[in-house]
Amino acid sequence: MNEKPIRVGVVPIGNLDGIFAKTVAAHLLGYFHLQVDILSPMGHPDYAFDPGRRQFDAGLILKALGKRPFRNSQKVIGIVDVDLFVPILTHVFGEAEQGGRHALVSLHRLRKREDGAPAPLSQLLERTAKVALHETGHLFDLLHCREKRCVMHFSGSLRDLDQTPLFLCKYCSLYLRDAFKRASRP
């Protein structure tokens, strides 16, 4: 049986430096061996701003991604530089439709060190890559992993995220490989 390649689209949302989309694309290709296209940017998500929380509703941005066709992309990852929330959490670094098509990566909280100073660019890009790999795992139905040495481990703080590796544990690797096989079937 011929397998079709899995194509992932990376969409900058708002005015972002191109280095972030290129970083996400490079890591999805290098670590997960996915075909990646950097797509045309979307406008700033003003529609998702919640004045009560002074943050942006990740669910509304995911819905907006869902309204765009992205015909050549099996999965789509948006990158945004706003502070995201979901109703049950104070903030999220990223959000994904579990087993679905769309995910988000937020740079907003990744830009800072724990003392509030700006994070060096190398640390910001590594964090961006980790969140993108993690959310991509969710798109292929991986759940949070108990293993701290796995990119699917839940990171509630920057300290957690910085201690998380850029790779999957052996169990999540096996699960993802099977998920890719299922997704590649014509």
pLDDT of 186 above 80? no
User: Would you place residue 3 in the very low, low, confident or very high pLDDT band (cuts 50, 70, 90)?
Assistant: confident
| Residue among 14, 16, 66, 17 nearest 42 (CA) | 14
DSSP, collapsed to helix, strand or coil, labels residue 32 as: helix
pTM of the model: 0.96
Report the C-alpha gap between 83 and 75 in whole angstroms.
Answer: 23
Q: Which of 95, 97, 135, 147 is catalytic?
A: 135
Whether 3 is a known active-site residue: answer no
Residue 185, sorted as left (phi over 0), alpha (psi -120 to 50) or beta, turns out to be beta
Report the C-alpha gap between 60 and 42 in whole angstroms.
Answer: 14
pLDDT per position as a tens digit, 97-108: 999 999 999 999
pLDDT per position as a tens digit, 45-103: 999 999 999 999 999 999 999 999 998 999 999 999 999 999 999 999 999 999 999 99
pLDDT per position as a tens digit, 110-156: 999 878 899 999 999 999 999 999 999 999 999 999 999 999 999 99
Parallel/antiparallel/unpaired status of strands 102-106 and 94-96: antiparallel
